[in-house]
Structure 1
Amino acid sequence: MTQQERLVEILKLLESKEILKQEEIAQQFNVSKDTARRDILKLVEENLVERTKGGIQLPVIKQQITDYQNRIIQHSTEKKQVATLASSLINSTQTIWLDVSTTVELLSQKNLPKETLFVTNSVDNAISFSTNKNQIYLLGGYYQADSHLLKGPMLMTQLMNFYFDIAFIGASGISEEGIFFDELEDIDLHQQLRAQSKQVVLLIDSSKENLRTSFKVSWETIDTLIVNQPLSTSLQEAINQHPITMIIP
């Protein structure tokens, strides 16, 4: 096996293993430690890997991209169903909020009116919607690299300058108790969106049912719930206690 062939195989291994040590490379490919060290140096020089304590790993940004692609792929059929239903609510005269959500981002694949103004704090949304020639306003703030979003006081100040016809939001989970998010800052953001939106629409796939985190808002936060299939009886009964429109395929 040539060095070039070995480097390709090392990169393939790193896709499944977070860190590879020099000793592992030597053993895996039956080469000397010096050869393994030269392979590592070559990969580092080409900016294909990063050194870490005890070995090498894929560059952080590549891992972030891989993680995001995996989230897109998970339950993709269900998410596309939800996005299709949501797209029917959009018209050319509206101002729309787009949450940081893989399901919300799938709206960019729909044939949406070019006159509609979309506003977001998601870098992925901004790229996807601008690629399709939609009008997109990206709010500024502190960049959180692992989620490709902008947040913080600056974002909240800018947000107050808008009133949305529809705010499309995502969530980490739903239960009889309410709607769950990953971070405390998400609560402030979605409460502000409630105050500044004519209609708040939660887009979620059924895999999120009965998933709970530490941070929750009440069902009063939303007006409409779009989900890919009927929910459990107990959850549906809890939602029915509120004036929420359910949209299901």
Structure 2
Amino acid sequence: MYQEERLRKITDWLQKEQTLSNQELMERLEISRDTARRDIIKLTEAGKAIRTHGGIARTDFQVRVENYQSRMMQNAEGKKKIGVKAAELLREQGIYFFDVSTHMPYVCESLNSHMKIYTHSLDNLILLASEPKIQVHSLGGVLQKENRFFYGFEVWEKILNLNFDAALLGVASIAEDGLYYEEEEDAQVKALAAQRAKQVIVMADYPKFQRVSKYRAVGLNQIDLLILDREPEAGWKQRLIEEDVQWIVV
């Protein structure tokens, strides 16, 4: 298929769907990542679309995803309670994956045991650097500056060669089929970490049940424990029971 025909197809899809990820373009058009990138550049230079992190969007698409620092200010008390409870569940000499999450600063501040922690979060690395009992490992990769996480092949390769006692995950939104995130690269890291963990612990303040995000990373049936700041509604309780997900309210 010639580029001109691909560009027409992409433009038509954007009129209906508003946004498309690089992966969606590759699969639908059966093209390589480099070809998808060239098509995106062509459309954006022509003013027919705008680039997003990990894809392309219609020119009138203006949904704003708040960055990490902004999210830290929301429901700080609830996040702190959740983070402190998560820290209490970690055992001496354990090996853990720590996610990029606004709950994580409170987890890091509450730790007082010898353990190994692997993370793709810049903020986790900074917070744990001064903790004498914590052996902290960076997963390397490329820094996504706005939301302060590392991603890429180096991160994925390291995770695939590790086994974690638990993966501590945050979440952008919770749906009936699992955990969703705003950044495709971040979702890929979380998905791999969950696969390599004996236990998946998810920290979520209540609004996460009411939001919608784009990239699914972890199935509901992969979650072992949810730490929440209020009781889930009756319908959600039934859904969690069906998937054998336990929860704690702090």
Q: Same fold (TM over 0.5)?
A: yes
Which secondary structure state, in structure 2, belongs to the residue aligned with residue 164 of structure 1?
coil
Q: Is the 8 A contact 1:82 1:226 kept in 2?
A: yes
Specify the code of the residue in structure 1 equivalent to 2:245: I
User: Post-superposition shift, 1:202?
Assistant: 0.5
Which secondary structure state, in structure 1, belongs to the residue aligned with residue 105 of structure 2?
helix
Q: Which whole-Å CA distance do the structure 2 matches of 1:128 and 1:78 have between them?
A: 20
User: Post-superposition shift, 1:226?
Assistant: 0.6
Match in the other structure for 2:242: 241
1:51-100, Cα deviation, whole Å (9 max, x unpaired): xxxxxxxxxxxxxxx95443222111000111111111111120011000
Which secondary structure state, in structure 2, belongs to the residue aligned with residue 90 of structure 1?
coil
Specify the code of the residue in structure 1 equivalent to 2:102: T
Match in the other structure for 2:163: 163
Which secondary structure state, in structure 1, belongs to the residue aligned with residue 165 of structure 2?
strand
Q: Is the 8 A contact 1:204 1:226 kept in 2?
A: yes
Do residues 120 (structure 1) and 119 (structure 2) align? yes
* Most deviating of 67-76 and 78-87: 67-76
Which secondary structure state, in structure 2, belongs to the residue aligned with residue 131 of structure 1?
coil
Do residues 143 (structure 1) and 136 (structure 2) align? no
Which secondary structure state, in structure 1, belongs to the residue aligned with residue 232 of structure 2?
coil
Q: Which whole-Å CA distance do the structure 1 matches of 2:176 and 2:197 have between them?
A: 24
* Superposition RMSD in Å: 1.7
Q: What TM-score results when the alignment is normalised by the length of structure 1? A: 0.69
Which secondary structure state, in structure 2, belongs to the residue aligned with residue 180 of structure 1?
strand
Q: What TM-score results when the alignment is normalised by the length of structure 2? A: 0.69
Q: Which whole-Å CA distance do the structure 1 matches of 2:99 and 2:169 have between them?
A: 5
Q: Which whole-Å CA distance do the structure 1 matches of 2:105 and 2:156 have between them?
A: 21
Q: Which whole-Å CA distance do the structure 1 matches of 2:189 and 2:111 have between them?
A: 28
Match in the other structure for 1:219: 220
Q: Is the 8 A contact 2:99 2:190 kept in 1?
A: no
Q: Which whole-Å CA distance do the structure 1 matches of 2:84 and 2:211 have between them?
A: 24
Specify every segment of 5 or more residues in structure 2 that has no aligned partner in the other structure, as ranges: 1-65
Specify every segment of 5 or more residues in structure 1 that has no aligned partner in the other structure, as ranges: 1-65
- Equivalent pairs: percent with the same residue? 25
Q: Which whole-Å CA distance do the structure 2 matches of 1:242 and 1:68 have between them?
A: 30
Q: Which has the larger radius of gyration?
A: 1
Do residues 77 (structure 1) and 77 (structure 2) align? yes
Q: Which whole-Å CA distance do the structure 1 matches of 2:80 and 2:153 have between them?
A: 33
Match in the other structure for 1:92: 92
Q: Is the 8 A contact 1:173 1:180 kept in 2?
A: yes
Which secondary structure state, in structure 1, belongs to the residue aligned with residue 212 of structure 2?
coil
